[in-house]
Chain A
């Protein structure tokens, strides 16, 4: 059997038993990275030295993995797939990288993404788009497209992404893997290059919900360097995976299965709802009208925060510096103009506009109020139901080039994923079928804040009963 058919936990178990060495695992990852080079998943591939790994450090010690390129890694370039950060080598590790290094993670490199995580297709990268391992003419999704493609293509066993409006869950769905956005604050954002600080969250992409639980157990925890971080209650998430959903109540927002949802996606999501029913859960349709405003509220708030966060890139302290510059202001403007790509500029302009004098109340303040209503609506629903089931994206992976021609259309495709960010709720995306063209389709479960274990457990139960997460783009099922 090929190593890449194993889940991260299966490989870790084989490493602990001595059936496989870390050197063999690294070699297998390198071979897959070479075989799937055309996917363009990696920006900075590494050749780690496996000798120093303590296999008792964690349940995933010794397993090769990789980071999205907006997570700072000491001594390894971190570019956010932007010309603006070409040549930037962070002098420190993100908290997530500190935790994983201590847990014996073997880093195979840094992964391609949409520039500064702004995009839904990984096409805004300055290093070219990520290709979907299931069909090279299609996008891997975004913004953590490199992370999802690397896991789906068997290049690494898990990857660390970031999710501001669906950037872990949507590429996971498009590539047929599992992705988890934890409760806001469950993972420290120290060392994550900020996009929209009140929405950003780091999380895992892996081949199963159990793998995601094992990775999140390593990442989670309060960090004094991130004042929004919190301790998730309870013991290890991995221990909470009972695989039982009998008696759980699951809400299905009715407007989510209406207009705009592609037939193959709608059928797979309905079938997922039937699977949960067959497993003993109660699935009922509910009405959540506030969700209709989620995309508008999200893009106003995210772009506003981005316009502030990305003000730090000035051509002086790090990253690209324009060769010309009469004075400081002109140097800064020239460096930013040359360094940022079109989508980043568009969002910075939008964010600057909604915060500008005369427009703040009409856009920014209104979006804050809409977000509060959406959060309130979701929390009320979650008082009555344990989980909320929904599609992840309205279609399977789009063809490359389709989305860039209409930015608004691309923004609208985020309608199912942004509510969890606006409300800070945990949400997991996992494969639930293939569409008529053989492309993977994902389904999403959202849960109550801090109840990440419940969300992962329901996905785990689904994966015990279905084969979808075992599908591999190179054909057939994993054994």
Chain B
């Protein structure tokens, strides 16, 4: 699997990451090596593989719909690096 620097850049964009020049080149090379190894999976015959599923046959795991107090707003907002009164503060998201 050829991983070009352009491809690495595209994937970084999807992952909300920025790669600078050298990092882009190195990451592309490392990913190519890893994906080449993983390509060995092609030789595994999965035509008759059982359907993927959870470890234990758990089905329809539900819980009673009971109201309970939320965590205090003040404690949650204390985790944010920027806030405005009762809200998380971010740069403008919509023009």
A residues with a Cβ closer than 8 A to B are 87-92, 183-185, 198, 224, 227-228, 230, 290, 293, 296-297, 299-300, 307, 311, 314-321, 325-334, 336-337, 340, 345-346, 348-353, 356, 362-363, 366-373, 375-376, 407-408, 411-412, 423-425, 449-450
CA distance A128 to B59 in the complex (A): 43
**Once the chains bind, are A296 and B8 in contact (CB under 8 Å)?**
no
* B41 lies within 8 A of A366 (CB): yes
Inter-subunit contact B15/A307 (CB<8 Å): yes
In the complex, what's the smallest C-beta–C-beta distance from B20 to chain A, in angstroms? 9
Residues of chain B within 8 A of A348, CB atoms compared: 15, 17
Number of interface residues of B (CB under 8 A): 46
A-B contact pairs, 15 of them (CB 8 A): A184-B56, A293-B41, A296-B37, A299-B38, A307-B15, A311-B16, A316-B80, A317-B76, A318-B80, A329-B16, A350-B35, A352-B11, A370-B44, A372-B49, A423-B55
Known: A331-B90, A349-B11, A372-B51; 20 extra A-B contacts, CB below 8 A, are A89-B78, A89-B79, A230-B56, A307-B15, A314-B16, A317-B79, A326-B91, A328-B91, A330-B91, A340-B17, A346-B27, A346-B31, A353-B11, A366-B44, A368-B52, A369-B44, A372-B50, A376-B50, A407-B30, A424-B55
Chain B residues within an 8 Å CB radius of A316:
80, 82, 88, 90
Interface of B, secondary structure class, is loop
Q: Are A328 and B90 in contact (CB under 8 A)?
A: yes
Residues of B within 8 A of A296 (CB): 37-38, 40-41
Q: Which residue of B lies closest to A351 (CB)?
A: B15
Whether A337 and B17, one on each chain, are in contact in the complex, defined by CB atoms closer than 8 angstroms, is yes
Say whether chain A's binding surface is mostly helix, strand, loop, or mixed.
helix
In angstroms, Cα B40 to Cα A327, docked, is 42
Cβ–Cβ contact A345 & B91, under 8 A = no
B16 CB → nearest A CB, Å: 5
* Chain B residue contacts of A319, Cβ below 8 A: 79, 81
On chain B, the residues within 8 Å of A352 by CB distance are 11, 14-15
Which of A326, A329, A350, A376 is B34 in contact with, Cβ under 8 Å? A350
Q: Are B91 and A331 in contact (CB under 8 A)?
A: yes
Shortest A369–chain B CB gap in Å is: 4
A425 partner residues in chain B, CB cutoff 8 A: 55
Given known contacts A317-B80, A318-B80, A332-B16, A370 and B31 CB-to-CB distance under 8 angstroms: no
Whole-angstrom distance between the Cβ of B92 and the nearest chain A Cβ? 6
